[in-house]
């Protein structure tokens, strides 16, 4: 029995032939949305959850020599796209050198101050206002 045939008709009240056509298309769309394009330009208006990360990462410029350091920030937005207070670092692996760790954390703070407020669509802003987001900052290895 095919996946489309197993879908409950009361959960999906549409003709069976439509369900058979929609399930493969939906699975293909899910796989395409998993991997965002590398360093794509952030959209002008943020209208989906998957656009928040790329919009913030486009502003983050990690300092040289910070490979191997990581930090996780926790933050919330207001409906207008501005931050609700400063982001909190909830986890950090900063290594031994204090100056390098300080530069790394300052670069994360600069990314938030340079990028926010994000330009949310009105309906998206209302839906994400007050929700807590968590984002990891891991610098890519320098390429020779």
Distances (CA, A) of 133 to 1, 38, 79: 40, 21, 14
The full set of domains in the chain, from first to last, is 3-34 (no CATH), 49-137 (3.30.1150.10)
End-to-end distance of the chain based on CA atoms, in angstroms?
53
Is there a contact between 72 and 137 (Cβ–Cβ < 8 Å)? yes
pLDDT for res 9:
42
Per-residue pLDDT, 28: 35
> Tell me, what's the pLDDT at 44?
76
The pLDDT value given to residue 141: 67
* Whole-number Å distance between alpha carbons of 7 and 3: 7
> What is the bridge-based pairing of β-strands 88-93 and 132-137?
unpaired
Which letter, b or e, does each residue of 32-57 get, where b requires 16 or more Cβ atoms within 10 Å of its Cβ? Answer: eeeeeeeeeebeeebeeeebbebbbb
pLDDT, residue 25, reads: 41
Q: How far apart are CA 92 and CA 76, in angstroms?
A: 19
> Is-contact 84 78, C-beta < 8 A?
yes
Digit-by-digit pLDDT tens for the chain (144 residues) are: 443 443 334 444 445 555 454 444 443 333 222 333 344 445 578 899 999 999 999 999 999 888 889 999 999 999 999 999 999 999 999 888 888 899 999 999 999 999 999 999 999 999 999 999 999 999 986 534
């Amino acid at each position: 029995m095919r996946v489309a045939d197993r879908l409950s008709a009361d959960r999906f009240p549409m003709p069976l032939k439509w369900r058979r056509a929609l399930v493969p298309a939906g699975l293909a769309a899910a796989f395409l949305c998993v991997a965002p394009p590398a360093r794509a330009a952030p959209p002008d208006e943020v209208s989906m959850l998957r656009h928040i990360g790329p919009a913030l990462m486009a502003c983050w410029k990690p300092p040289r020599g910070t490979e191997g350091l990581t930090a996780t920030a926790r933050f919330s937005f207001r409906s207008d796209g501005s931050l609700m207070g400063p982001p909190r670092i909830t986890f950090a692996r900063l290594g031994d050198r204090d100056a390098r760790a300080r530069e790394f954390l300052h670069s994360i703070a600069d990314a938030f101050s340079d990028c926010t407020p994000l330009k949310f669509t009105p309906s998206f802003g209302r839906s994400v206002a007050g929700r807590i987001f968590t984002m990891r900052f891991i610098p890519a290895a320098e390429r020779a």
